[in-house]
Each structure stands twice: as C-alpha cells, then as structure tokens.
Amino acid sequence: MAANVSYKKKYEELLATHDRKGEQLRLLAEVVRTANSLLEPEALIAYIMERVQLLVRSEAWSLLLMDETGENLVFKGVMGSKAAPLKELKLRVGEGIAGEVAAKGRAMMINDAARSPLFNPEIDRLTRFQTRSILCVPLRSRGKTLGVLEVINKDGEEEFTEADLETATLFAEPVAIAIENAYLFQRIKQLSLVDDLTQLYNSRYLRQSLKVELIRGGRYHYPVALVFLDLDGFKQVNDRYGHLMGSRTLQVVGGILKGLVRNVDVVVRYGGDEFVIILPNTDVEGSRLVAERLRRSIAAHDYEASTGCAFTLSASFGIAVAPDHGDDPETLIQRADQAMYRIKESTKNGCAVYG
C-alpha cells in the first residue's frame, strides 16, 4: 500500500512537471512569435519584461543593453517595486555580476548574492532593495553579446534552480535576436529620415512630423509655426571655395539652428541651402522672435573659425502659422516658402510672415 502511495506521488509530481514544462514551451513559442513582430525597441523591451515574470517568478528583473562604446551596460527595462532609480543607469562591462556575464558571455546563477565577490551592493543601496539571489543570462545574437537579462530574488524566498536557469537561457536566445532586429530596423528607418550631410531630419520626415504636430495642435488648440529659410550668398561660397567647403558650411549652419531651438522643435534640411523648422505651440510673435534670433546668429557667426575660410552669410526667413495660414502640411510649407521669397527678392537677411 505504501509503495502505491509513493508511486502515485511520483506520478503526480512528474505530471505537474510535465504541465509546467508544457506551459513554459507555450509561452516561449508565443514570445518568439510576438517578439519577432515587434520592430519598435521600446515596445519590444516592455513586452519582454512582462513575459519574463510568467516564466521565472521573482521579485524584480531587469534588461541591460550594451551602449555604443561597448564598455557599459545600460538598464533599458526594469521591473519591481523599487526599480525606478535604475532606468538608464550605466554599469561597466566586466564589473559586478551583470558585467561579468556580459564580458564572458556565460550565464550565472547565484543563490547567496551577498557572499559573491562579484556582487555590487551599490545597486541595493540606490534602490533600498535587498538582493538575495540572482539569475543572469547573456543576450547573444549572431555571436555577439548585446546585453544581459537579470532575474532577482525568486518568489517565496526560494532558491533558483537549474530548471530556472535553463528556462531563462531558452527565453534569452530568441529575445536577443528580436532585440537586434528591432534596433537594426530602427537604424534603417532613421537613415531614411535623416540628411546624410547635416544629420538633421530630411524633407520626408518634415511631412510626417508636421502632419502629426498639426493633428495634435488641432486637438489641443495650440498654434504650430513653420519657419522656412534660405541662405543668402551661399552660391558664392561654392563658387569661390568649392563644393566641399559648401558642404561644410551647411553643416555649420545646421549646427547653429539646432543649437538655438528647443528640444521639441524639429530642424530639417529641406534641400540645397534651404532649412525648415517646426515650432509646436508657437504663435506668430513667438515664431518671429525665434526667426530673428536665428537670423542674427547666422549673420554674426565667425565662419573662418568654423571652416578656415573667410566669408559672411545671411539668411532670408519666411513664417506661416497654423491654423491661421493653413491646416495641412503642404499649404503651410508653401506659404512659409512664399513669405521667405518676399524677403529673398527684396532686402534679403530678414524675416516675413505670410499674409
């Protein structure tokens, strides 16, 4: 009788393990399918962070990715009651448990974190959290480590097991590929919307961004200004110093414009020596002040110090403001352009508002 009870208990344990494995495999299949369809990195990371907890129950978990230098890990996804201070915090590769996993490309499972010589207590002090155990797996794609996934303090004060490590590793493999694909897609998308020479946005992005801003302005009842400018005397720079110097000059002017507007404003190289600036929530008087500030800065700039060649430049500015001068991208661009040409064909080096 005792033997039958023992066999029954083992059978029930095996059945429970089988069901648990089946659920994990179902979740992993869902992750692979969904993650590969998400091409926006932030949305993908949010999805990953949500699914980690379903696979390995824990108190906190985080996703760290290599920065552009390859020398630091940056917290890109953090979950847990005290995780907020970690967002965008950097850790050196090779330092701490996460840094060691990133450097070596091998997973680590530590069930007594405080005793590990790799454990960095500074993170706990920053978050006022007590780390007991850590499961950390590398995110590797195409032979390269992109970052790490950390799971901290298994629920119920239990220890992590080899089964947990296996699950986290299986989860990390498709996740890493999806992350790399999402960032590659973002980079390709960015390149299609950015001017190669000045690294400002291009005319394709102008129409997309202006359309969105006009919709938002209409919904929340605020004006959207468009400033169109054309450089005066740029042809002489090209003719006298050559097209390489002309290109360098456009980069300098782009830097002047970018440095004198708000973070919410959008600076665009429209084409040739023409630039456009979107000024959200800015009326006629506000946009005129911005245009005058930019005009004076372009005219007063020391181009010899920036380029090595002695010349002066100025610019003609035109302004159109939605909704008064139009409520669609093409109309607003056309009318700001018309206002600019009034200055271009008369005094140059000035600003005009459409109308």
Catalytic residues: 273
Taking the C-alpha atoms of residue 114 and residue 348, their distance in angstroms, rounded to an integer, is 70
Give the SS3 label for residue 263: coil
Helix locations, the chain, DSSP H: 2-35, 41-55, 96-104, 122-127, 162-193, 203-220, 234-241, 243-259, 284-300, 303-307, 329-344
Give first-to-last CA distance, the chain, whole Å.
Answer: 98
Closest CA to 226 of 334, 141, 299: 334
Burial class (CB in 10 A: 0-12, 13-18, 19+), 195: buried
Cis preceding-peptide flag for 223 (omega within 30 of 0): no
Structural contact between residues 314 and 232, judged by C-beta atoms closer than 8 angstroms: yes
Taking Cα atoms as reference points, which of 272, 254, 293 lies closest to residue 337? 272
229 within 8 A of 340, measured Cβ to Cβ: yes
